[in-house]
Amino acid sequence: MRIVFSYDEANHGLKTLFTLPISKSDYVKEKYLFSLIITGIGFVFVTILGCFRKSALWKHL
């Protein structure tokens, strides 16, 4: 999570970001939602790959 925030801090991006009509709490909510979505996509991807690997493993047995 720290990596996501550090990109926004680079080159004073947060100062620019908060000149827009967005509150700090909305910013934090968006970052957590983004992290959950990326984690969910990764989980689904790994689960799908695991299913294919399991079916291929059964063919060799």
The pLDDT tens digits for 10-57 are 777 777 777 888 888 988 898 899 989 999 999 999 998 888 776 655
The residue with tokens 């983004």 is 34
What is the domain extent for residue 35? 25-61
Residue 9 lies in a domain: no
19: helix, coil or strand?
coil
The pLDDT of residue 56 is 57
Say if residues 36 and 1 touch (Cβ distance below 8 Å): no
Using DSSP, how many helices (H) and how many strands (E) does the chain show? 3, 0
Specify the DSSP class assigned to residue 38: H
pTM of the model: 0.63
Is residue 52 one of the residues assigned to a domain?
Answer: yes
| pLDDT value of residue 51 | 81
| pLDDT of 59 over the 70 cut | no
Domain count, the chain: 1
| Residue 11 within a domain | no
Amino acid at site 38 = I
Contact 37, 27 (CB under 8 A): no
